[in-house]
Chain A
Amino acid sequence: MMQRTQFIDPGRCIGCQACVAACRECDSHRGRSMIHLDYIDVGRSVASMPTVCMHCEDPIAPCAEVCPADAVLVTADGVVQEAAKERCIGCANCVHACPFGVPKIDFEEKLQYKCNLCYDRTSVGLAPWCATVCPTGAIFYGTLEELLAQRPNAVVSDIVVFGEQEIHTGVAIVAPSGYARDWIPGGLP
Chain B
Amino acid sequence: MTERHELPIVAPGIDDFAREGAGPAGGWEAPERPQVRLVPTHCCFCGVQCGMFLKVDAHGRVFGVEARDHDINRMRLCPKGVVAYQQVNHPDRLLRPLMRDRRGDPLRPVSWDVALDRIADEIRRIQDAYGRDAFGVIGGASLTNEKAYLIGKFARVALRTRHVDYNGRLCMVSAAAANKKAFGIDRAANPWADLLEAQVILLAGANVGETFPVATQYFWEARDRGARLVVVDPRETPVARTADVHVPIRPGTDAALFNGLLHVIVREGLVDEAFVRDHTTGWEGVRDTVASYPPERVAEICGVDARRVEEVALLWGRAERAMALHARGLEHHVQGVDNCLAVINLVLATGQLGRPGAGYGTITGQGNGQGGREHGQKADMLPGLRDIENPEHRAIVAERWGIDEAELPRAGTSFVEMMEQMRAGQIRGVIGFCNNPLVSLPNLSRIEAAYEALEFHAQADFFLSETAERADVVLPSAVWAEDEGTTTNAEGRVVKHNRAADPPGEARPDWWIMRQIAERLGAGRWFAFESPREIFDDLRDTSRGGIADYAGITYEKIERTGGVFWPCPTPDHPGTPRLFEDLRSAFPDGRFRFHAVEWREPAEPADEDFPLRLTTGRTVAHFLSGNQTRRIGALVEQTPRPWVEVHPSLGFASGDPVRVVTRRGSATYPALVTDTIRPDTVFIPYHWSGRVAANRMTVDALDPVSKIPEFKVCACRVERGDEIDPLSPPPIPPGRMPQPFEAEPAGDARPPTAPQGRGTSER
| Total A-B residue contacts, Cβ distance less than 8 Å | 171
Q: Identify B754's interface contact among A18, A42, A135, CB under 8 A.
A: A42
| Interface residue A122 (Cβ < 8 Å from any Cβ of B) | no
CA of A18 to CA of B17, assembled, Å: 18
A96-146 interface with B by 8 A CB criterion: 96, 101, 103-108, 113, 127, 132-137
Q: For this complex, into which size category does the number of interface residues on chain A fall?
A: 35 or more
Q: Which of B621, B754, B755 has the most CB of A within 10 A?
A: B754
Q: Identify B239's interface contact among A14, A37, A48, CB under 8 A.
A: A14
A47-B654 in contact (CB<8A):
no
A46-B14 in contact (CB<8A):
no
| Interface residue B15 (Cβ < 8 Å from any Cβ of A) | yes
B30-A92 in contact (CB<8A):
no
B753-A42 in contact (CB<8A):
yes
A45-B241 in contact (CB<8A):
yes
Given A24-B20, A43-B648, decide whether A103 and B67 contact each other with a Cβ distance below 8 A.
no
Would you give 11 A-B contacts (Cβ < 8 Å), ordered by A?
A15-B238, A18-B213, A22-B82, A32-B20, A39-B753, A42-B753, A45-B236, A47-B241, A48-B754, A95-B14, A107-B16
A105 surroundings in chain B (CB, below 8 A): 10, 14, 16
| Interface residue A35 (Cβ < 8 Å from any Cβ of B) | yes
A17-B224 in contact (CB<8A):
no
B756-A15 in contact (CB<8A):
yes
| Interface residue A2 (Cβ < 8 Å from any Cβ of B) | no
A60 surroundings in chain B (CB, below 8 A): none
Report the interface size for chain B: residues with CB under 8 A from the other chain. 60
Which partner residue on chain B sits nearest A133 by CB separation?
B77
**Stretch in contact with the other chain, from B321-329, B426-434, B509-517, B672-680:** B672-680
Dominant secondary structure at the B interface: loop
Given A11-B242, A30-B28, A101-B11, decide whether A106 and B760 contact each other with a Cβ distance below 8 A.
no
The proximity string for B residues 4-33 relative to A, scoring 1 for CB distances below 8 Å and 0 otherwise, is 000101110111111010010001111000
A47 surroundings in chain B (CB, below 8 A): 241
CA of A16 to CA of B634, assembled, Å: 12
B83 surroundings in chain A (CB, below 8 A): 21
A92 surroundings in chain B (CB, below 8 A): 9-10, 14
B213 surroundings in chain A (CB, below 8 A): 14, 16, 18, 135-136
Query: Nearest Cβ distance between residue B206 and chain A, in whole angstroms?
Result: 13
B715-763 interface with A by 8 A CB criterion: 753-757, 759-761
B756-A14 in contact (CB<8A):
yes
Given A36-B13, A96-B11, decide whether A133 and B67 contact each other with a Cβ distance below 8 A.
yes
Which partner residue on chain B sits nearest A96 by CB separation?
B11
B241-A46 in contact (CB<8A):
yes
Q: Identify B224's interface contact among A37, A44, A95, A151, CB under 8 A.
A: A151
Query: Nearest Cβ distance between residue B146 and chain A, in whole angstroms?
Result: 29
A43-B224 in contact (CB<8A):
no
Which partner residue on chain B sits nearest A107 by CB separation?
B16
Residues of A within 8 A of B (CB): 11-18, 20-22, 24-25, 27, 30-33, 35-39, 42-48, 92, 95-96, 101, 103-108, 113, 127, 132-137, 150-153
Query: Nearest Cβ distance between residue B397 and chain A, in whole angstroms?
Result: 40
CA of A149 to CA of B756, assembled, Å: 31
A96 surroundings in chain B (CB, below 8 A): 11
A127 surroundings in chain B (CB, below 8 A): 75
Closest 4 CB pairs of A and B: A31-B28, A14-B209, A39-B754, A14-B238
Which partner residue on chain B sits nearest A152 by CB separation?
B224
Given A30-B29, A44-B675, decide whether A18 and B82 contact each other with a Cβ distance below 8 A.
yes
| Interface residue B65 (Cβ < 8 Å from any Cβ of A) | yes
A25-B754 in contact (CB<8A):
no
| Interface residue B35 (Cβ < 8 Å from any Cβ of A) | no
CA of A25 to CA of B20, assembled, Å: 13
| Interface residue B220 (Cβ < 8 Å from any Cβ of A) | yes
A46-B217 in contact (CB<8A):
no
CA of A42 to CA of B671, assembled, Å: 13
Which partner residue on chain B sits nearest A27 by CB separation?
B30
| Known pairs A14-B756, A21-B82, A136-B216 / 9 extra A-B pairs, C-beta < 8 Å | A14-B620, A16-B756, A17-B757, A20-B79, A24-B28, A46-B241, A92-B9, A105-B10, A133-B81
CA of A104 to CA of B14, assembled, Å: 5
B9 surroundings in chain A (CB, below 8 A): 92
A17-B217 in contact (CB<8A):
no
| Interface residue B237 (Cβ < 8 Å from any Cβ of A) | yes
A17 surroundings in chain B (CB, below 8 A): 79, 620-621, 638, 756-757, 760
The proximity string for B residues 187-218 relative to A, scoring 1 for CB distances below 8 Å and 0 otherwise, is 00000000000000000000001100110110
Query: Nearest Cβ distance between residue A17 and chain B, in whole angstroms?
Result: 5
Which partner residue on chain A sits nearest B619 by CB separation?
A16
Query: Nearest Cβ distance between residue B378 and chain A, in whole angstroms?
Result: 31
Query: Nearest Cβ distance between residue A130 and chain B, in whole angstroms?
Result: 10
Query: Nearest Cβ distance between residue B41 and chain A, in whole angstroms?
Result: 16
| Interface residue B78 (Cβ < 8 Å from any Cβ of A) | yes
Which partner residue on chain B sits nearest A150 by CB separation?
B224
CA of A135 to CA of B82, assembled, Å: 11
A43-B675 in contact (CB<8A):
yes
A25 surroundings in chain B (CB, below 8 A): 64-65, 82
Given A16-B213, A35-B760, decide whether A24 and B78 contact each other with a Cβ distance below 8 A.
no
Given A17-B620, A46-B676, A92-B10, decide whether A33 and B209 contact each other with a Cβ distance below 8 A.
no
A31-B23 in contact (CB<8A):
yes
CA of A70 to CA of B216, assembled, Å: 43
Q: Which of A17, A44, A95, A96 has the most CB of B within 10 A?
A: A17
CA of A25 to CA of B77, assembled, Å: 13
A18 surroundings in chain B (CB, below 8 A): 76-79, 81-82, 213
Which partner residue on chain A sits nearest B10 by CB separation?
A92
Query: Nearest Cβ distance between residue B219 and chain A, in whole angstroms?
Result: 9
CA of A34 to CA of B464, assembled, Å: 34
A12-B220 in contact (CB<8A):
yes
A45-B676 in contact (CB<8A):
yes
Which partner residue on chain A sits nearest B209 by CB separation?
A14
